[in-house]
Amino acid sequence: MRDSFEKIKEKLSTLSRRQIILGGGTLAAAGFIANQRPAKNAGAHNDYFLSLQNAVKQANLARPTLVIDKQRLDQNIATLRSHLRTGMNYRIVAKSLPSLPMLEYVMKETGTNRLMVFHQPFLNLVATRLPDADILLGKPMPVAAAARFYDELGRGRFTPARQIQWLIDTPARLAEYAELATAKNIDMRINFELDVGLHRGGLREPGELPALLNAIDAHPRLSFSGFMGYDPHLASVPGVLGWQASAFESSTGLYKAFINQAKSHYGDRWQQDQMTFNTAGSPTYQMHEESTHATEIAVGSALVKPTHFDVATLDDHVPASFITTPVLKVRDKTEIPALEAIGPLTRFWDRNSAKTFFIYGGNWLAEPVSPPGLQTNDLFGRSSNQEMLNGSDEVTLTTNDYVVLRPTQSEFVFLQFGDMALFEAGEITDTWPVFTQGA
Ligand SMILES: Cc1ncc(COP(=O)(O)O)c(C=O)c1O
C-alpha cells in the first residue's frame, strides 16, 4: 500500500515537472516570436512635417498634392554647383524636373541653358517655350518621332539645326535620320550613345565609329556633335577591393578611347569646342568631379531627391519633393475582407498594422514617411482611390490630418497631381504647372 502511494506521488511530481517544462517552453517560444516581430514604429509628425501639413492646410490643398520644398531645392542646387569643376558644364535632365517654371528656375540658378529631353511632346514644348535651350536627346527617338517634332514646330526663335543634338545608337538609325535630313532638307547634329558599361544600348567598340563618321561626312546635312555615355551602374558597384574604382576606370577609359578615335578620324578638322561629351547621372555625377574627358554632366533627380536616390553618393543632397494627402477615415483595427478572423494574429505579429487610415488617393510610386511607421497593406491591396495605410496604436492621426509620402522617382510621379505647390518658410508660396504627356 505504501509502495503504491509512493509511486503515485512520484508520478504526480514527474507530471508536474514535465508540465512545468512544457509550459516554460511555450512561454519561451512566445517570447522568441514576440522578439522576432517587426519593431513598433510610432510617432507624430516632427516639426518639419507639421509645418508642411499646416502649409497645405492653410492653402486649402485638401487633395493629393506634389510639394516642392524650395529652400531644399536651392540647397541641392548649391550642392550640385559645389561639385562642378571649373569648365564642367551642367545639363538639366528635363524628364526628372518636368515643369517649365521649374526648369526655368533651375536654368537661372545654375546658369545653364543645356537640357536633356526624352519625350517628343516635351521636346516641342521646350523648343517653343524655352527658345534659347540647347537640347541633347537622352534617348534615341524613333525617326518618326523626330519627323513629328519638325512637323509640329511652329515658327520661332528656336533653331533645331543649332540647338538640338539627336541621339543615335546604331548604323540603321543613323541611316533613317540621314533619310529624314534629306527628305526635309534640314541640318541635323548627331550625338552617339555609348555603352560605357550600363548595357542599355549604344556603341560598344571605338572600332564601330569610323563607318558611322564616314556616313556622316558623306551626308551634306549631317554633322557629328559628340557622345553621351550614361553610367549610373557605377554607383551600385561595391567599393570593396577597389571594384568601383576599377569599374570607373574602365568606363571612362572606354569613353576616352571613343574620343581619341573620333579625334584621329577628323585630324586637322577636329573642333574640340564644338563637341558635347556628356556623362553621368544623379548617382554618379560626384564621381566626375575630376573628370576632364567629359564636357558636361547630366543631372535632374538629385535636385529633388526621390527615395530611389537615397544612395551614399548623394548623401549631401536632401529630399525636396513630397506628396501630401488628407486622411479620410481612421479605424482602430485592421480588417481584411474575408480574413477578419486572422486580424488579431496579424495585429499581434505586426504591431504596425494595429490601426487603419484610408487616405485620399494612393498607389503612387511613393513611400509614406510621416507620421513614422505607416505602411501599405499588400493583403488588402493597393488603391488609387482610397489607399489603406496601417500604423501602430500610437499613431495619432485623425481624419483631416495629412499623411506625407516621398516619391520613389520624379519623372512619372510629378505628372500625376496637377500643379506642384512650392513650400517656402512654412507657407505654400506659388504653384508650378507640370508637363502634359502630349496632345
Ligand atoms: C541618358 C541619361 N542621362 C542622365 C540621366 C540622369 O537623370 P537623373 O539625374 O534624373 O537620374 C538619365 C536618367 O534616366 C539618363 O537616361
DSSP string, 97-114: S--HHHHHHHHHHHT--E
10 CA to centre of ligand 1 in angstroms:
78
pLDDT value of position 30: 59
70-304: CATH superfamily:
Alanine racemase (3.20.20.10)
Closest-CA residue to 248 (of 227, 229, 272): 229
Q: Name the amino acid, one letter, at 367.
A: E
231 CA to centre of ligand 1 in angstroms:
9
State which ligand 1 atom lies nearest to the alpha carbon of 282: 9
pLDDT value of position 33: 60
Which residues have C-beta within 8 Å of that of residue 381, sequence separation ≥ 6? 388
pLDDT value of position 12: 40
pLDDT value of position 2: 45
pLDDT value of position 3: 46
| Rounded distance between C-alpha atoms, residue 194 and residue 192, angstroms | 6
| Rounded distance between C-alpha atoms, residue 139 and residue 75, angstroms | 29
- Nine-digit cell string for 430: 506659388
Residue whose CA is at the smallest distance from ligand 1 atom 6: 281
- Nine-digit cell string for 261: 578615335
Kindly report whether the peptide bond that precedes residue 142 is cis, defined as omega within 30 degrees of 0.
Answer: no
293 CA to centre of ligand 1 in angstroms:
19
State which ligand 1 atom lies nearest to the alpha carbon of 301: 10
pLDDT value of position 26: 57
* Adjacent-strand bridge partners of 355: 391
- Nine-digit cell string for 375: 505602411
pLDDT digit string (tens) for 104-144? 999 999 999 999 999 999 999 999 999 999 999 999 999 99
Mutation to probe ligand 1, out of 79, 90, 93, 234 (largest number of atoms < 8 A from CB): 93
State which ligand 1 atom lies nearest to the alpha carbon of 285: 9
378 CA to centre of ligand 1 in angstroms:
31
Strand ranges in 247-318 using DSSP code E only, listed in sequence order: 276-279, 296-299
| Rounded distance between C-alpha atoms, residue 391 and residue 8, angstroms | 54
> Do the domains spanning 47-52+318-432 and 70-304 agree at the CATH topology level?
no
279 CA to centre of ligand 1 in angstroms:
9
State which ligand 1 atom lies nearest to the alpha carbon of 302: 9
CATH code: domain 47-52+318-432 is 2.40.37
- Can you give the residue ranges of every domain in the chain? 47-52+318-432, 70-304
pLDDT value of position 25: 57
Beta strands 65-69 and 188-193, pairing class: unpaired
Angstrom distances, CA of residue 52 to CA of 37, 365, 394: 32, 20, 21
Within 10 Å of residue 337's Cβ, how many Cβ atoms? 8
| Rounded distance between C-alpha atoms, residue 82 and residue 286, angstroms | 10
Residue whose CA is at the smallest distance from ligand 1 atom 1: 138
* Displacement of CA 300 from its chain's centroid (Å): 9
Q: What residues in the chain have per-residue pLDDT under 50?
A: 1-5, 7-9, 11-18, 20-22
Q: Name the amino acid, one letter, at 220.
A: P
51 CA to centre of ligand 1 in angstroms:
32
67 CA to centre of ligand 1 in angstroms:
22
**319 with 303: CB under 8 angstroms?**
no
Q: In 3-state terms, the chain is what percent helix, strand and coil (to 5)?
A: 45, 20, 35
Q: Which residues line ligand 1 (CB under 6 A)?
A: 93, 96, 116, 138, 228, 230, 281-282, 298-302
**356 with 388: CB under 8 angstroms?**
yes
State which ligand 1 atom lies nearest to the alpha carbon of 298: 4
**105 with 81: CB under 8 angstroms?**
no
